[in-house]
Chain A
Amino acid sequence: MPELASLRKRTQAALCLACGKCSTMCPLSPSGWFSAARLAAIREPETEIAGQTRSLDACLTCGACEQRCPEGVRFVEFVRGVRALAPPVGRRACPHGEMLQAAARLMAGPTAPTRDLGWIGDELEIAETGEVALFVGCLPFFDLLFTDELGIATVDIARAAIRLLNGLGIRPVVLAEERCCGHDLLWNGEPEAFQALAAANAAAFEARGVKKVLTTCAECCSTWRRDYREAAPGYRPEVEHLAEFLAARLAAGELAARDGAAPSTTFQDPCRLGRHLGVTEAPRSVLAALAGGAAPLEMERSGRDADCCGTSGFIHCDANSRRLQSERLAAAAATGAETLVTACPKCLIHFQCAQCEDRRRQRAGNGIAVEDLTVLAARMLVPASTARPTGDA
């Protein structure tokens, strides 16, 4: 398989010494059956890939292993590449009945989406064209799956973002024809569909004159910032997670913390934001600003060493995922913080899912509050000038 050979070279997997340092970092190692080193050894025949499908699916692509690899193996890119060469990922790997993947694949087709934007409501303002856009992503679709079950509406995150932007006098562009960013398909091994999504999104945002894409999701952010560079090289908007955007505005004195008690917090670094993009300070500075300057409490492993929330790309949720979630929730509670703050709707969903399970099991569990950073910020921050939005930024 020549593709595999060149992948091995490109990602330096060919240099792997099988020293096992990656496994000492990998949060899946305690499972007893997952071995990053073994995956790195996938050399050629298709059978070898097929034999490792389970492990391939299970890898969180969190990148913890890369932190220690002496040979600089870009392991997550390698795994992503092998997934694309592996036989199609079946339903089995996908929790939630593959609904989100199915929707993403449909969006990769020629028909433009006709998203219902009714969730924005009357009191919030968006624009048809403009320089700043909010990339909403899957939030409204998540709610189809999780609102009943977990009692959360992730679309609140997008609403919170628009409220914050409006407060700063910005009416963001929100597109009805916005497609899925393609993160999950890219990481689940469907590069062609991802390519189609990237191209269509780039074209749509470019057509509206967008120069800055804001996201509230770590995965959307890393996808736009890193992967669209390759997939849609012609369009180079600035891409920011809302945490970064808010940090800058706070620093510029445009936003101020509202009077009143902010909860004491600890921060879950999403893999895509922390390790993949290296963004660890911005969210912390936002949280500190909310708390009148007090830095958030830190879990035992945080920043670039943070543990994953248990699943990524909505594949392969399993008993390990549950274990990771419980451990992370415990670590958060151990800091003494009142609220565990996330900057990725998927982290939010996964932690709340674990808590919901405990409730379903009528088990005490770990009841620490889990909240999205943007939602918390919208609750606690007010514009330094109270001027109403007047036009596009």
Chain B
Amino acid sequence: MSATAGSQARATLTVPGLAAGPFPLREVPPSPCTLACPAGINVKSYVSLVAEGRFAEALEVVRERCPLPGICGRVCHHPCEDACERRPAGGPIAIRALKRFVADLELELPPPEAPDVAPRPERVAIVGSGPAGLAAAWDLARAGFPVTVLEAAAQPGGMLRYGIADYRLPVEVLDYEIDVVRRAGVEIRTGYRVGVDGGLGELLAEGYAAALLAVGAQRGRGLGVPGEEDCPEVEDALAFLRRVNEGDRTPLAGRVVVIGGGSTAIEAARSALRLAAKEVEIVYRRRREEMPADEEEIETAIAEGVAFRFLAAPARIVSEGGRLAGVECLRMELGEPDASGRRRPVPIPGSELFVAADHVFAAVGQEADFGFLPAELAPRLAAGGRLATDPQSTMTPLRGVFAAGDVVTGPATVIEAIAAGHRAAEAIRAFLDGEEPGAARPAAPPPRELEIPSPPPAWAQRRHAATAPIAAGREFDEVERAFSAAEAIAEARRCLRCGPCSECRICAASCGRRHLTIHAGGAGAGSRGWLLRAPERFVASLEAAGAGGACLHRELADELFGDAEAGDQAVALLPTRVAIDEDFCRGCAKCIEVCAFDALSLVDPEAEETTVRLAPARCRGCNLCTAVCPTHALVPTVVAPEWWGVRIEDLYPPLAAAAPGEPRFVVLACQRRAGAVGASLAAAGVAAELVPVRCCGQVDAGMLLEVYRHGAGAVLVAGCPGDACRYGAGADLAARQVERARVLLRNLGGDAGRITADWSPDPEGSLANSGWPHLAVLARGLGARQEGVSDA
């Protein structure tokens, strides 16, 4: 699909100024979103790929760390969005919805085939087919182990199937993604309850070399108040949801009260609404802020008509004439924080109130059901309603038996279960390979610095996926709609691509000799960042050449190895941050004003002499500050200071030298649009010198005039319009510079019309296509040469 168009576009990309000199090879530290994802999905990478219209590749990136993209794309509680740097600037990227978008595209296609792997002899049994079990099974199968999943229920999926309701997660999506896991070589045996249909011990005896317990937390806790036991209208919410999810759509009469504040409570309430309950009310003992359920879910529930009563807890079930009448509650107030850090609700004496109810669903907690454990083992394995495991190895005290998911953590989330599945799979592999149970925990995220205080108001706002109201007769149809392709791209383009590179992988794809390869942090491996790597002999030669570890540009590589292939292209890795040369800094604070990320501050604003300092973690390397710094104290991110030789201004001599006397059409394009601009011009056969810049706000009048003077027949600045600039002020700054250059040119006897700018909105659909035909028209108007026509 569009990936092809993308690579064509890139082929037209020439960077004449970047013709020589090594580039730093660096480990890419993960972005905040990626760090926040428990499963380590490389969020920035797939968001970047969506922004470029490279949807299939985006999905591949998700699958590297998550076998259930369509499911997570619907129900994940998205800690990535909480960490997203755009949160204060128009809202976090709608990462979950983007994941769903790419996953949905695949539903129309034949499922991906299993990779070829060398088979391993050791069989692994996995008990439970919830997300933890499925993730572990997927990893192990892809590592070559024969995996059997034993599932007590009639169908696989665990809480995904029997907890979460269809209007949030349609069965088709669930079936499809479980099928993908099956195709990876996983056998799922349903209707097999370990402990009933076969014991744990027997499994190991049967020849399984290892077993993973991923049985979840299946049992709902009771309310624990008088009157509960002998009232059939008081039911466990999980049991209710299981019935509904099994297809029982018997209407509920009257008023439904759900007790609890987690996703189970919300799910039960919304399901009750769909079963014609007259009124549904959630009673929760803390406040809305403390509800563990996802904020978006709460909002949707409210929108659908669920009522909430906060700071109230049941004290007694009231029945009249053998039928439930309601719940007597006590008002609560918040006291001291408890172990979870939330303030403990304390009943207010004498504050009884009566909440009428025809049905009560209890969603006040879940715990594992250890009935499947042999009686003599249970005390060794289970403590406090959870399975005891070694946190490093995920192994239970029983050798060869591992555990993961809700059964270990207590009720948690899908993505955490998946993450636990990954860790367990890696631990099982290590165990079967006879390795020490490894320190396989991802590195702790670096301490975060301050929040972005005041983002420019013009920044594009987060897009929300549309939702559908409950429709009669189709109550359990999916509520949330998917993004359209255009919406997905527009939303993904808001991403700041925190960190040194967008991880779009263009470099590895276009470095023909594979000098540059990208290594993703492997399954369960400690590193979640990507390592950009060159082969050893390559690095060794570089060191000999005094270049340190670096990827080479083509010329240098040819010199060293002489093995260039036609069409080879080495791509510069852009360091992420500006550098500060303090000797030059006047402390004028201009840079501080332009930085949208609050990355710069003065060491001592009050002092006569002071310099600016950089908070590296916040710098996005947009280079806008370098454009306003009057002294070049800020070194642009195009290259690190030690690579001074390669800067935009180094373009001028090559421009003049390349074709003496022949006017060149030079396009200084925002890095993000460079591909599409190139494709648009190439599609129309326009010869252009394309110079990608980090942000067009980095272009200044001097630069434009110099490019013009060095023989450019015309110079075009192609950047993102207004609030589409992901760095805030790029378009404004560039527009001012273009205007300055034009005024000067007009005064200097030049043709001001030959320095121009284009701020077209993004084309419909993919940025990786040739969506700007008007650019070719513009270029021809400026006298750009037509390829193959006027060459003679």
Contacts and interface: CB of A to CB of B under 8 A. Distances in A.
Interface string A225-256: 00000000000000000000000000000000
Nearest to A359: B589
A96 B744 CA distance: 14
Nearest to B700: A97
Given A112-B749, A319-B609, A361-B602, A144 B702 contact: no
Contacts of B661: none
A24 B593 CA distance: 38
Interface string B579-613: 00011111111100100000000100110110100
A38 interface: no
Interface in B728-762: 737, 740-741, 743-750
Contact of A90 (B606, B630, B649): B649
B519 interface: no
B330 interface: no
Given A114-B746, A115-B747, A109 B709 contact: yes
B584 A319 contact: yes
Contact of B605 (A103, A141, A145, A361): A361
Interface string B626-645: 01001111000000000010
A91 interface: yes
A308 to B, nearest CB: 15
A144 B587 contact: no
A361 B741 CA distance: 29
Contacts of B740: 99, 144-145
B583 A91 contact: no
A113 B748 CA distance: 4
A91 B699 CA distance: 13
B702 A101 contact: yes
B588 to A, nearest CB: 4
A99 B700 contact: yes
Contacts of B608: 323, 326
Nearest to A149: B590
A116 B605 contact: no
A114 B627 contact: no
A113 B749 contact: yes
Given A96-B630, A109-B709, A103 B586 contact: no
A107 interface: yes
A261 to B, nearest CB: 32
A102 interface: yes
A292 interface: no
B609 A326 contact: yes
Contacts of A21: none
A111 B747 CA distance: 11
B647 interface: yes
B705 A103 contact: yes
Contacts of B702: 91, 94, 96-102
A72 B632 CA distance: 35
Given A99-B740, A363-B605, A322 B586 contact: yes
B730 to A, nearest CB: 16
Contact of A91 (B630, B647, B746): B647
B706 interface: yes
Interface string A337-358: 0000000000000000110110
A30 to B, nearest CB: 11
Contacts of B632: 91-95
Interface residues of A, number: 46
A116 B602 CA distance: 40
A372 to B, nearest CB: 21
Interface residues of B, number: 43
Interface centre among B740, B743, B749 (most CB of A within 10 A): B749
A140 B747 CA distance: 10
Nearest to A361: B605
Nearest to B743: A144
B718 interface: no
Contacts of B700: 97, 99
A59 B256 CA distance: 84
A353 B746 CA distance: 27
B754 to A, nearest CB: 12
Contacts of A33: 583
B609 A91 contact: no
A112 B265 CA distance: 79
B703 interface: yes
Nearest to B705: A102
A362 interface: yes
A317 B586 contact: yes
A105 interface: yes
A114 B749 contact: yes
Nearest to B701: A99
B605 A106 contact: no
A97 B701 contact: yes
Contacts of B588: 322, 353, 356-357, 360
A102 B606 contact: no
Nearest to B602: A361
A81 B608 CA distance: 35
A319 B583 contact: yes
A57 to B, nearest CB: 11
A97 B627 contact: yes
A318 interface: yes
A284 B238 CA distance: 94
A319 B627 CA distance: 18
Contacts of B587: 319, 322, 357, 361
A321 interface: yes
B747 A141 contact: yes
A114 B748 contact: yes
B390 to A, nearest CB: 56
17 contacts: A91-B632, A91-B702, A92-B644, A94-B702, A97-B700, A97-B702, A98-B649, A111-B749, A114-B746, A177-B749, A317-B631, A318-B583, A319-B582, A322-B586, A353-B630, A360-B588, A361-B587
Interface of B: 582-590, 593, 602, 605-606, 608-609, 611, 627, 630-633, 644, 647, 649, 700-703, 705-706, 708-709, 737, 740-741, 743-750
Given A113-B748, A357-B589, A361-B589, 19 more contacts: A91-B647, A92-B644, A95-B631, A97-B700, A99-B700, A99-B702, A99-B744, A102-B702, A102-B709, A106-B708, A111-B748, A113-B747, A141-B744, A177-B749, A318-B584, A318-B633, A361-B602, A361-B605, A363-B606
- Return the 3 tightest CB-CB contacts between A and B, nearest first: A98-B702, A97-B700, A102-B705
